[in-house]
């Protein structure tokens, strides 16, 4: 009997992944990752953020434990706090300092879930590891999950094909509604648990209050890029991203204004009047840190520049093994430095990289 170590997060997806593995006849072992120190999981007053007097991370562990006890499988707990800080959270802060919009979940998959976790799983005798991701692996290739609304291949774009070896995604062929139904049928405590929407492992919180603990607020001017007029002040460039409308708090027509760029050196946040404004449109981008999962390196394919975005037809011009110019003459809105550009050929996720620079018709957009 083959042994599978499944990452138990305390959510419904990993819970049902464990059920599917048991049904397939595997010897299943649960492993819960503690990747953030709950003592720094603080609110604005510096107090631990509690839910019924229990930190959310501890509640997740208790839920995972209850599920494993219900399914009669062991649950181990491992501390990756240092690894998460060194490889994910430090990266997150560094990118924010540059005025970019990072995606820490992608780096968490690369360095924690499919690296540190795998090493620990092997110590437990794992033949395979499994997670509750909505994705599929076939013949060493990564494919989208069948549930288009939940597909998580975008977040797996920085893992290597080597890391995909001996990996199982038990719910990749399922719809979310099916997952919840199975959890209900097994009377699991996670059956109706809300999906996590916060930063990977850090959870849901007041983002501005949280970041104050690590990066100083540096207020500056908000400038209308069309008139060069100062129309307000921002609380720190790290709190804003390209295309953002909410949270500008300028009064009057602020609900019609959109963030279109940043000037890091002068600490200026640029806005424009409406969503259709040409300042949000680019036609090409330089993508760095390219990670190819597939052997297929296309000249033309589709790409997503953010999660849940529709597929965009693109052409690739290779500068070197890890850097490409991605061209999309049809124009795409709100392509944002720091975010991931992920490439697809039909249902296969080919890999992806990080958006370094955004251009329009060959000219770098000076305000990005």
Q: Which residues are catalytic?
A: 108, 200
The angle at the Cα of 242, spanning 106 to 258, to the nearest 5 degrees, equals 150
Q: Give every CB contact of residue 71 below 8 A, 6+ residues apart in sequence.
A: 18, 19, 22, 28, 186
Q: Tell the burial category of 23 from Cβ atoms under 10 Å away from its Cβ (0-12, 13-18, 19+).
A: exposed
Long-range CB pairs of 190-196, under 8 A, 24+ apart, other chains included: 190/10, 190/11, 190/12, 190/15, 190/63, 190/67, 191/12, 192/12, 193/10, 193/11, 193/12, 193/63, 195/11, 195/12, 196/9, 196/11
DSSP 104: H
Residue 218 DSSP class: -
Distance CA 311, CA 362 (A): 22
Please tell me the distance from the alpha carbon of residue 85 to that of residue 198, in angstroms, as a whole number.
Answer: 17
């Amino acid at each position: 009997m083959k042994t599978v170590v499944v990452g138990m997060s305390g959510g419904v997806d990993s819970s049902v992944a464990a059920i599917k593995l048991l049904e397939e006849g595997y010897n299943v072992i649960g492993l819960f990752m503690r990747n953030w120190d709950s003592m720094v999981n603080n609110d604005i007053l510096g107090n631990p953020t509690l839910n019924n007097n229990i930190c959310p991370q501890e509640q997740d562990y208790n839920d995972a434990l209850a599920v494993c006890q219900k399914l009669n499988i062991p649950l181990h707990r491992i501390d990756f706090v240092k690894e998460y800080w060194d490889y994910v959270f430090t990266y997150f802060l560094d990118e924010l300092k540059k005025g970019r919009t990072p995606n820490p979940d992608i780096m968490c998959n690369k360095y924690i879930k499919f690296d540190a976790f795998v090493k620990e799983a092997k110590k437990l005798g794992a033949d395979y590891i499994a997670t509750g991701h909505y994705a599929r692996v076939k013949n060493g290739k990564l494919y989208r999950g069948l549930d288009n609304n939940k597909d998580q291949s975008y977040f797996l774009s920085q893992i290597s094909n080597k890391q995909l070896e001996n990996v199982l995604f038990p719910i990749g062929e399922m719809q979310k509604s099916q997952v919840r139904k199975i959890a209900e049928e097994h009377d699991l405590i996670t059956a109706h648990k809300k999906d996590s929407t916060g930063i990977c492992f850090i959870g849901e919180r007041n983002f501005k209050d949280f970041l104050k603990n690590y990066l100083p607020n540096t207020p500056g001017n908000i400038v209308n890029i069309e008139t060069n007029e100062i129309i307000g002040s921002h609380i720190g460039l790290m709190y804003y991203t390209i295309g953002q409308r909410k949270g500008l708090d300028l009064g009057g027509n602020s609900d019609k204004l959109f963030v279109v760029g940043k000037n890091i050196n002068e600490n200026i946040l640029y806005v424009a009047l409406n969503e259709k404004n040409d300042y949000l449109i680019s036609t090409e981008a330089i993508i760095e840190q390219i990670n190819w999962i597939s052997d297929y390196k296309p000249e033309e394919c589709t790409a997503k520049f953010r999660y849940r975005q529709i597929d965009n037809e693109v052409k690739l011009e290779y500068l070197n093994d890890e850097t490409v110019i991605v061209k999309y003459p049809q124009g795409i809105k709100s392509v944002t430095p720091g975010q991931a550009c992920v490439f697809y050929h039909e249902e296969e996720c080919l890999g992806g990289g990080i958006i370094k620079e955004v251009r329009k018709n060959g000219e770098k957009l000076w305000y990005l």
